[in-house]
């Protein structure tokens, strides 16, 4: 009988390099919110890939960045804590641009973590680069990372993922599976639904209300007819933002609700009744009580 590999792999990188897109692509279905806006991911999330010879537990993390408020401090803390106790660190970088100061900061952070934990470097978005430019990027990022394992992928096009999985399995320890083979995430449906509502907000609102918006789940009920009833409040920081989220005649809020409901139905495989409202919670990103209520700070 061939050996079975199993282990935890932390996916780290700066905001908007494609960490959640990669997680969804590896699992073959959506479990993490994705948008073109940085910092879409706000908490650690595990995605579980079970194969005949291995189980890889991916830990998707918020993008490491220079924080400007207490929420940003929490996001960085979440990402850094993900490095503790994992079997492998997968550093995902954006190959379409040269390394930045943020990449240098991540490299410095990883130096201490990788004394204990193996590191693999994955260059994402390599499909849009000519060969000579890709070679330069490989050299630049390899110089930063000093990683023995370097892989080229495109998460959005699902290119190079088979080779990535094979290499990760090679680097993981021999161990029995941690989770049942039919489990793909450690989040509950309610938590994923909240993430999908926020994703719909980011996609519909574009630059107008980027990260000063949070989703508070007020109710999540199973009805006798098999339908799910969900009530959620969209928290914003200013009255002007509330007007933007609602839109003229309520059209923007209706558009957000429609997009979110479709994603939640696809995720859960059943009909959903989604009720959204908008509330102003001034400067919530710096309010410890609100952050704790939303799960963005550890409860004392």
Kindly report the three-state secondary structure assignment for every residue of the chain: CCCCEEEEEEEECCCCCCHHHHHHHHHCCCCCCCCCCCCCCCCCEEEEEEECCEEEEEEECCCCCCCCCHHHHHHHHHHHHCCCCCCEEEEEEECCCCCCHHHHHHHHHHHHHCCCCCEEEEEECHHHCCHHHHHHHHHHHHHHHCCCEEEECECCCCECHHHHHHHHHHHCCECCCCCCCCCCECCCHHHHHHHHHHHHHHHHHCCCCCCCCEEEEEEEEECCCCCEEEEEEEEECCHHHHHHHHCHHHHHHHHHHHHHHHHHHHHHCCCEEEEEEEEECCCHHHCHHHHHHCCCCCCC
Q: Does the pLDDT of residue 113 top 80, yes or no?
A: no
> What is the percentage of the chain residues whose pLDDT exceeds 70?
82
Say what the pLDDT of residue 182 is.
83
CB neighbour list of residue 26: distance below 8 Å, 6 or more residues apart = 47, 49, 56, 58, 161, 164, 165
Please say if the pLDDT value at position 130 is more than 70: yes
Helix axes 161-171 and 19-27, enclosed angle (nearest 10): 90
The reply to whether the predicted model has a pTM over 0.85 is no
Q: Which residue has the tokens 């905001």?
A: 15
What is the chain's mean pLDDT, rounded? Answer: 84
Per-residue model confidence (pLDDT) at position 297: 58
All domains of the chain, ordered by start, with CATH? Answer: 5-171 (3.40.50.300), 189-293 (3.30.300.20)
Over residues 135-164, the pLDDT tens digits come to: 999 999 999 988 889 999 999 999 999 999
Q: For residue 162, with 0-12 CB atoms within 10 Å meaning exposed, 13-18 middle and 19 or more buried, which class applies?
A: exposed
pLDDT digits (tens, 9 = 90+) for 30-45: 766 554 444 444 455 7
Q: Which two tokens stand for residue 294?
A: 């939303």
Structure-token pair, residue 31? 């479990």
Per-residue pLDDT at 36: 47
- The whole-angstrom separation of Cα 27 and Cα 32 is 10
Mean pLDDT of 91-116: 86
CA distances from 237 to 41, 197, 255, 285 (A): 19, 18, 21, 8
* Whether 39 contacts 75, CB under 8 Å: yes
């Amino acid at each position: 009988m061939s050996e079975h590999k199993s282990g935890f792999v932390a996916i780290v990188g700066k905001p908007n390099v494609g960490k959640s897109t990669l997680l969804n692509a590896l699992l073959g279905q959506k479990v993490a919110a994705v948008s073109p806006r940085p910092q879409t991911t706000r908490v650690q999330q595990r995605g579980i890939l079970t194969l005949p010879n291995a189980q890889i537990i991916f830990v998707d993390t918020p993008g490491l960045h220079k924080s400007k408020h207490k929420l940003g401090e929490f996001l960085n803390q979440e990402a850094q804590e993900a490095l503790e106790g994992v079997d492998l660190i997968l550093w995902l970088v954006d190959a379409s641009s040269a390394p930045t100061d943020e990449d240098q900061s991540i490299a410095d952070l990883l130096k201490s973590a990788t004394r204990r934990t193996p590191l693999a470097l994955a260059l994402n978005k390599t499909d849009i680069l000519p060969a000579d430019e890709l070679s330069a990027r490989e050299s630049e990022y390899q110089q930063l990372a000093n990683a023995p394992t370097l892989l080229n992928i495109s998460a959005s096009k699902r290119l190079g993922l088979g080779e990535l999985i094979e290499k990760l399995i090679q680097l993981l320890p021999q161990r029995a599976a941690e989770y049942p083979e039919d489990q793909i995430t450690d989040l509950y449906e309610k938590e994923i639904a909240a993430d999908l509502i926020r994703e719909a907000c980011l996609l519909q609102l574009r630059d107008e209300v980027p990260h000063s918006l949070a989703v508070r789940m007020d109710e999540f009920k199973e009805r006798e007819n098999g339908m799910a009833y969900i009530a959620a409040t969209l928290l914003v920081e200013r009255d002007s933002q509330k007007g933007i989220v609602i839109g003229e005649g309520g059209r923007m809020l209706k558009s957000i609700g429609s997009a979110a409901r479709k994603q939640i139905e696809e995720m859960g495989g059943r009909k959903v009744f989604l009720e959204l409202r908008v509330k102003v919670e001034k400067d919530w990103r710096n309010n410890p009580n609100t952050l704790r209520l939303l799960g963005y700070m550890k409860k004392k």
